[in-house]
Amino acid sequence: MSRLPVITGFGGFSPAGRSSAHHGYRRLVIDALPAALADATWQSLASLMNLPDSRSPGARQQIRAHTLVRRIESAHFDSERIPWQRRMHWSAAGAEGLHIRVGTSQLPDPLPPGWQLLSTQGRESEIRIDGATEVLVPTERRSEVNAAGQLPSGFEPASLYPARSHPRGLQMTVCGASDALLSLGIDWERVLERVRPDRISVYAGSGMGQLDGHGNGGMVASRLQGKRVSSKQCPFGFAEMPADFINAYVLGSLGNTGTSMGACASFLYNLRMGVSDIQSGRARIAIVGNAEAPITPEIIEGYAAMGALATDEGLRALDGLGADALPDHRRSCRPFAANCGFTIAESAQFVVLMDDALALELGASVYGAVADVFVNADGYKKSIASPGVGNYLTMARAAALARAIVGEEGLRQRSFVQAHGTGTPQNRVSESHILDETARVFGIRDWPVCALKAYLGHSIGAAAGDQLVMSLGVWADGVLPGILTADHSADDVHSAHLDILRRHSTRDPRELDVALINAKGFGGNNASATVLAPHVTQRMLAARHGRAQLDAWAKRNEAVRAVASEYDARACAGATAPVYRFDHGVLHGEDLQWDAHTLRVPGYAQAIDLDLRSPYEDMPADGDRQ
């Protein structure tokens, strides 16, 4: 009997703001919400952006203009003046060679061919260069790509805790994982009273690693920039470092850990590991997430070289603008419409999963459940970046599982899709065909399709995390976000059985039983998740544990929800800080108490059981050795 992975907490930060308490989701649909809900989200964003007021028209216009996808702001880099090096060849104009003076400490050792040291006077040396020499001259260029999904202006994760040269992705990890943890409404110490140290899982990472100047980006570029490589850049650059930071500085966890990388599907790869651990009993609680901070000139240059990003030139062509006109950067991502590329974004998203019994025991809030995550490769390819057939398999399996759980009618009438929806010409054709064929085969008509990258951009490894936490908001408020950046579907989009939403669509949340989260990654990394609504999850809990247990859970949950609401109120007032426990409770071997049967760790009420049974009891290895 599989344990059910229940979503009991979630949090993070994206271009829509803070994810917990559904504020990130509500930024997307804020004009379709009741005033009280909208006001709370305006206040949440104002506190993040360090604005003194959230109610005035000016403040709200400021928030609108400086959240979601927009022109790249100077806090990241000046896209009009990106530093680069112009390669040049110099040679003397006369027979006497080229004479230059340089700082003695700056002289290369050994001197390049054709260089001759003529004299040294104090800190300065004179050099003669015979023949031609190659030099790199610092200059500047303008970026072809000027739109990105950025965290709200004024929100700087590094200012909230002692960041100590942490790459931005790790700063976002600390803040995002803390938001998820505090959204639980349950003290972590209470969890440790009921869970063994080896029954906690943390799966988090980055699809690309930490590539800014504090991570791998600085490590590979420093010498070419005339700088030193620091001792932190190499370790901070590892892709699994978000999990490491959560273990070391947020939770102090000793359990299962790591990351699974699958390009743009990486979040779902990690979610799959957490779900599998819960289902099998390897873990009772799992923290799953991804953090991506790819808004750097180098990463943008890489994707632009592939022709993958929406450029200013491409946006002008779509809208019929002249060469000197400023394109609408807020509409740079147009999923399933006439489009010209995706829009890069930053985000960190985390969810907390518990097995069904632990969730009931602790009175944890139930935001839904992850029934399973399906992963398939594409098989043989020509271009490694081109789509294949793997995503047909993952969507078919995810839909089939939804049918098995909520029934034929539930899948056909009460499900919706969170599409990958990148905004590229290739994606609009390939993914729309996958979704349309899935709907046709399973008898679904007018299948609602959302594509949140229209608001948030594409946060690479964290993208499916954006899709998941926004789906939880749909079940809270009943508004399916429409794709507002375009009012039509392109002629080559397959939509005979789809309802690709171009406007917000308000539904009864209890009439939406299941969401299918889809992700397609470069290289053939495909993943689709079947996520169950909270009302469906509660029905399943009652069926397994009985109505009396569920009633007792509901009573315990009242206090949990109150604590979570208090956290939300403090966060909206700007009165919270991330959980960051540097040099806190560090354990050594002599702190452990253990024998051949049990191992006790300080801080945990339950011991690790060492009386293990062989999982291969039908294959004894201690019998006849002849």
Residues marked as catalytic: 264, 420, 458
Structure tokens that stand for 479 in this block: 């508004």
Residue 519 sits at φ, ψ, to 5 deg, of -145, 135
- On the CB side of 112, how many CA atoms lie within 13 Å of its CA? 11
Structure tokens that stand for 571 in this block: 């966060």
Q: Sign (positive/negative) of CA torsion 102, 107, 108, 114?
A: positive
* Rounded distance between C-alpha atoms, residue 233 and residue 219, angstroms: 6
* Rounded distance between C-alpha atoms, residue 609 and residue 449, angstroms: 47
The answer to whether the beta carbons of residues 35 and 483 sit under 8 Å apart is: no
The answer to whether the beta carbons of residues 588 and 176 sit under 8 Å apart is: no
The answer to whether the beta carbons of residues 535 and 367 sit under 8 Å apart is: no
Structure tokens that stand for 281 in this block: 């009993």
Q: Sign (positive/negative) of CA torsion 463, 464, 465, 467?
A: positive
Among residues 26, 32, 31, 58, which one has the least CA distance to residue 45? Answer: 26
CA 422 from centroid of its chain's CA atoms: 15
* Rounded distance between C-alpha atoms, residue 44 and residue 572, angstroms: 4
Strand 124-129's sheet: what is its strand order? 98-103, 124-129, 115-121
The answer to whether the beta carbons of residues 334 and 170 sit under 8 Å apart is: no
Q: Are strands 115-121 and 124-129 parallel, antiparallel or unpaired?
A: antiparallel
* Rounded distance between C-alpha atoms, residue 352 and residue 6, angstroms: 8
* Rounded distance between C-alpha atoms, residue 451 and residue 498, angstroms: 13
Q: Are strands 82-90 and 69-71 parallel, antiparallel or unpaired?
A: unpaired
CA 178 from centroid of its chain's CA atoms: 15
CA 450 from centroid of its chain's CA atoms: 18
Side chain identity, residue 330: R
Among residues 152, 188, 174, 239, which one has the least CA distance to residue 9? Answer: 188
β partners of residue 498: 447
* Rounded distance between C-alpha atoms, residue 55 and residue 49, angstroms: 14
* Rounded distance between C-alpha atoms, residue 302 and residue 207, angstroms: 15
